[in-house]
Chains A and B, each alone.
Chain A
Amino acid sequence: MTDSLPQLNADTGLLSLSDAAFGVLERLAGRGGKLVDAPGLRDQVTLLRAAAVLDSDDTFHPSLTSTIAAIRNADTELVLTETERVARIWVAADHGALLLPVDDSNVSQLTYLPAWVLPETVSRIVGLGPRPRLPATEPVPLVTLLAGYPRCHWTLTRFPTGPGEPGPVASLEVVDTAAGLWVVKPGDDGPMASPSDPTAVWRAIIRLVRPSDTAAQTSQVT
């Protein structure tokens, strides 16, 4: 199958591209623009050049400067997992970049976002908003909640991107039901869900996405 041509809005820096093309772009960004040999790399570079994402010297289009800087200099990467969608977010100081799949396609959209807009962006993607308050109750097995067909089940995981820092630092897993929000934590007999509320989830999202210089205390987000 032939990959579609990436599409760049040169005014806004919004870039639509395939997963394969993004893989190449990410490598170029991470390697400071130096090409490496890899299967299919040259074909993707050709497509990126044809779309003016790269010029003949493999320099990124000026409208992508902030986006690429956020990816290249990120000290945090976040992965948002839903039932059918995954978004990736890079945070470098006050700057962020978001890669969000377009529904029903193999195309994603890459855009620059200031860090302060990231909590709202995550909330918009997962539909966070006012919910009924759940009564206080003992944690229940996650499988029990999922059997009740929740409206949404998502996880936001924060990964360090610096060298030598293994594994996720923290994550927030939420089950959104008609009765209210639940936050999931590991339990002795598998994941357990406890009642939560939109304010607590909003605060946890902020702690996960904010720049690392203010997030040193983020070891437990719920």
Chain B
Amino acid sequence: MTSGSDASGTAYRHDDAGFAVSLPTGWPVDDEVDGCALVCVEPPPAGTHPAYLPPSIVVTIDALHDDEPFDRWLSRFRVSLAEIYNKLRLVDLEDTALGDLPAYRTLSHYLHGVVGGVCTEQWCIPAPGLVYVITCAAGTLQYDDFADTFQDVAAGFRLTTR
């Protein structure tokens, strides 16, 4: 793994997982979390409420088994959100692009038992035999403060040679 900072954030390259991404400067990165290629969480500001949910960025990689078409995987993924999250509300679905990569964005909201409302913004990026998922989350009332940061993170995503 390599990293370097510039004005737009910290470039982070995960050679084993085959991607690079630009992360907010000063947000620690953990690439040894089970099931995740990358976990990046803003250090909570001093004096924050115990129930404050620090904004986070997580990259996961899902294999497309048995030649499952991506469209079917994406449908399953979006349906599964309602099974995983409490009182999920889909806010927005968008077919977009990150550079020259097609990406499928989902903005949703759910209720967490401890921290309250959570906004989750996800980009699913298909690659041969794989799907990369960037999941960004923030407390409901903080989401607007971080939405542009999350968009910048997604915009900086690139596939690299594994």
Contact = CB atoms under 8 A, between A and B. Distances in A.
A207 B139 contact: no
Interface of A is mostly: helix
21 contacts: A114-B116, A116-B141, A117-B111, A117-B116, A117-B117, A119-B141, A120-B89, A120-B111, A123-B89, A124-B89, A128-B91, A129-B91, A129-B92, A130-B91, A197-B92, A199-B91, A203-B147, A206-B141, A206-B143, A206-B144, A211-B141
A206 B119 CA distance: 11
Interface string B127-143: 00000000000011101
Interface residues of B, number: 18
Interface of A: 114-117, 119-120, 123-124, 128-131, 133, 197-199, 202-203, 206-207, 210-211, 214
A198 B107 CA distance: 9
B90 interface: yes
A120 B109 contact: yes
A12 to B, nearest CB: 16
Interface string B73-116: 00000000000000001111110000000000001010100001
B94 A133 contact: yes
B140 A206 contact: yes
B141 A115 contact: yes
Contacts of B141: 115-116, 119, 206, 210-211, 214
